[in-house]
Chain A
Amino acid sequence: MNGPTSAVQCTGIVKRYGSGEAEVLALRGIDLEVRMGELLMLVGPSGCGKTTLISVIAGILDQDDGECLLFGQDITRLPATERTRYRGQAIGFVFQSFNLIPTLTAAENVAIPLLINGVPFESAVAEARARLRDVQLEGREDALPTQLSGGQQQRVAIARAIVHRPRLVVCDEPTSALDGETGHKVMQVLKDVAVGSDRALVIVTHDARIYEFADRIARMEDGRIVSVEQAERGTTENAP
C-alpha cells in the first residue's frame, strides 16, 4: 500500500487569539498542501499568520477549526503524550534565533532530538558529529555556540533539525539573522540535507534572497493563502 503523497494537508484551518472584542483571527480558513519531497516557502508581511500556520502544521499549536493532516494523520486526535512523541520523531525545527543551548557543545546540541527519542548519550553524540560533518562543521563539534559565527550556529541548528531523520522540517526565518552570502550557504545546506523523496521542508521567510531555493512559494496575507506559485516556473497555481 502506498503512503500519503502529501506531507501536510491543511483544510479550512482557523486560529483565533483572544476573545470578545479583543479577538484576533490569525488564520482564516487556510487550505494548503505540502507535498512529499518539496521545499515550500511561506512568505508574506509580518503578522499575516505565517508563524501561526507552521506552529499548527508542526503540532505545537492547536487550531480552532479545520483539519491538518501530517503524513495522513490528524495528530490533534492523539493523546497529548503520544502527540508529543510523534512530534519528536517526525518533525525537525529550525528557529530564527537558533535556540542553541549555550552551555552545550555543538555536538551535544545536535544530539538533543536523539536523546529525547531515547538514544543513549554516546551514540547520540556520535550521530550528531556525523550530521555536523554533513553541514560542513567538521572540527567544530566541541565548540560552544558562543564560539561559532551566526552562520555556523544556524548550520548547527539545521544539523539538530535533521539528526533524527524527521519527515518534516519546519523553519522560521532561518536566514534573517545572517548576511546574504551566509544565508545562501545555509539554505544550500538545508536543501541538501533536509529535502528528500519521503520528506518535506517548510520555511517561513521574509527573505526574498532565498526564494530561489523553493519548489513552491505560498503567499499569505491577513491570515489567508493568497497564492501558491511554482517557484521554477513562476506560475500561480491557485489564489483563493
Chain B
Amino acid sequence: MFRIALKMLLGDRGKYFGIITGIALASLLMIQQPGILISIFSRTYSFISDVALPDIWVMDPMVKYVDDSQPMLDTELYRVRGVKGVEWAVPLYKGNQRVRLGDGQLVSSNLIGLDDATLIGGPAVMLKGRLADLRLPDAVIVDEAGATGRLAKPASPGKKTEPLQVGDILEINDKRARVVGIARAGATFQSQPIIYTTYTRATTYALSERKLLSYILVKAKAGEPLANVTERIRHDTGMAARSADEFKDMTFLYILNNTSILTNFGFVVIVGFIVGAAVTGQIFYNFTLDNLRYFAVFKAMGATDRMLRRMILLQALLVGFVGFGLGAGATAVFAAITRERPGLSMTLNWQLLLGSSIAVAVIVLFAALISVRKVLKLEPAVVFK
C-alpha cells in the first residue's frame, strides 16, 4: 500500500508541489538565516581566530570585546614576560585609523601592529608578497577584501575601481604607507579593511597617544596548564588574561547581548518555521481531506488503522525529505556563491542541517498527525453516502 500512498500523493501534482515548496521555503529560511547569523557572529571574533599562535590574550580589564581595545602602557609587556610559565609575550596594536585614498576619500581601517621581531599575529595566508616584507620601510600588508573593496583604487571616469596592488602607496593619518603584500584574513564584524604593519610603525601611524599597546599575546611554556598561567598573569599584573577561546566567547556574548541581531534573525527563523508549518500543514491536511473518501474506501476494504497511519506518515516523510532537500540544496548553493565574497556570507555546518532537518521533521509530523487524526476518526460507512 506504500506505493499506492506515494502514487496518490505524486499524482496530485498541484498539492504535491505546493507542499514541497512550503517545506523548501521553510527549510531555506531555517538554514540560511541562522547560517548568516553564525557567519556574522564568527566575524565578531575572526581576528582572534586569525591570530592563532598565542595561547593567552592579555588586555586591560575594561576590555569588553576584541574591537574594544583599551590601550595599556608598553611597560605592561615586560611585566607579563616576567610571569612564571610564560614562554614568550609579544605586543599587538589594534586600532582604527583613517586611510586616505588617491581621490582624497578617507576610509576607516583596522590597523594591526605586529611584533617587529617575530611578526606574530600576522595573516596566515599571503596572496601576494611575503609577511617578512613588513620589515621594509613604510611597509603595510592589506587584506584581500579591503584591497578589492573599500581600499580599491578610485576609478577614472567611466572605469571600474582597480584592486590595490603591491607597490601602491596609501596615506595613513597623513603618513606614507607602501603596500608590500595582499593577505587573506577573516572578514570582520564591521567589514573594515585590515592593514598589517609592524608594532613600531603602527604606533607612528596612530595618533599621538601615551598608551598604544592594545593586547599582549602570550605563549605558555610547554606543560604549564593554561589556566594556571592565565591566573598568574591576572594576579601578578592586574591585567585581564584570557585564553583565545575565552576571549572569543566574551566577544560573542557581548555582541549577542548588546545588539538585536539574534532577535531579528531569530524572528525570521521562527516565522519561517511557523509559516512552513502552517502552509505545509494546511496543504497536506487539504490533500488528506480531498482523499478522505478514498481512505474510507481503504478502511471499508480492510485497511487497518496502522496501515493508514503508515501510509500518511510515508506521504508526509516524502514531502518533508524532498522539500528539505530542495531547501537545503538552495541554501548550499547560496553558501557556495557567497563563500568567497567579502560582504554577505553564511556558514553551513552539519549542526545547522541537523537542527533544521529536525524542525522540518516536526513540521511534517505535525501535518501527518492532524491528517491521521482525521482519517482514524473516519467512519468507513461513509463510503455508501
- A residues near B (Cβ < 8 Å) are 51, 54-55, 58, 60-61, 80-81, 84-89, 91, 93, 95-96, 99, 101-104, 108, 112-113, 115-117, 121, 172
Contact = CB atoms under 8 A, between A and B. Distances in A.
A168 B272 CA distance: 52
Contacts of A104: 4, 7-8, 11
Interface in B278-300: 293-294, 297-300
B303 to A, nearest CB: 5
Interface stretch (B68-76, B129-137, B341-349, B377-385): B377-385
A116 B380 CA distance: 15
A95 B8 contact: no
Interface in B1-27: 1, 3-4, 7-8, 10-12
A99 B302 contact: no
B117 interface: no
B246 interface: no
Given A99-B294, A102-B11, A172 B302 contact: no
A87 B300 contact: yes
A117 B384 contact: no
Contacts of A61: 379-381
Contacts of B385: 51
B7 A60 contact: no
A55 B27 CA distance: 46
Contacts of B52: none
A99 B383 contact: yes
Contacts of A54: 384
B307 interface: yes
B245 interface: no
Given A95-B383, A121-B3, A116 B302 contact: yes
19 contacts: A55-B381, A60-B379, A84-B304, A86-B302, A87-B301, A88-B301, A93-B297, A95-B297, A99-B297, A101-B4, A101-B7, A101-B8, A103-B7, A104-B7, A108-B7, A115-B4, A116-B1, A116-B302, A116-B303
Between B10, B379, B384, the greatest number of chain A beta carbons within 10 A of the residue's beta carbon is seen for B384
Given A95-B384, A99-B297, A103-B11, A117 B302 contact: yes
Contacts of B12: 103
A113 B1 CA distance: 10
A99 B8 CA distance: 13
A53 to B, nearest CB: 10
Of all A-B residue pairs in the complex, the 5 with the closest CB atoms, nearest first, are A88-B302, A103-B11, A60-B380, A61-B381, A55-B381
B302 A84 contact: yes
A202 B88 CA distance: 97
A81 B307 CA distance: 11
Contacts of B168: none
Contacts of A102: 11
B38 to A, nearest CB: 42
Interface in B290-342: 293-294, 297-307
Contact of A101 (B294, B379, B383, B384): B294
A89 B302 contact: yes
A101 B379 CA distance: 19
Contacts of A101: 4, 7-8, 294
Contacts of B307: 116
B134 to A, nearest CB: 70
Nearest to B294: A101
Interface string B84-123: 0000000000000000000000000000000000000000
Interface in B336-385: 379-381, 383-385
A63 to B, nearest CB: 12
Given A61-B381, A121-B3, A93 B300 contact: yes
A197 to B, nearest CB: 24
Nearest to B11: A103
Contacts of A87: 300-302
A88 B302 CA distance: 4
Contacts of A85: 302, 304
A91 B302 CA distance: 9
A112 B298 contact: yes
Contact of A88 (B10, B294, B303, B384): B303
B301 to A, nearest CB: 5
B331 to A, nearest CB: 31
A116 B297 CA distance: 11
A170 B299 CA distance: 15
A95 to B, nearest CB: 6
Contacts of A95: 297, 383-384
B296 to A, nearest CB: 8
Contacts of B293: 99
B300 A58 contact: yes
A58 B10 CA distance: 32
Contacts of B1: 112, 115-116
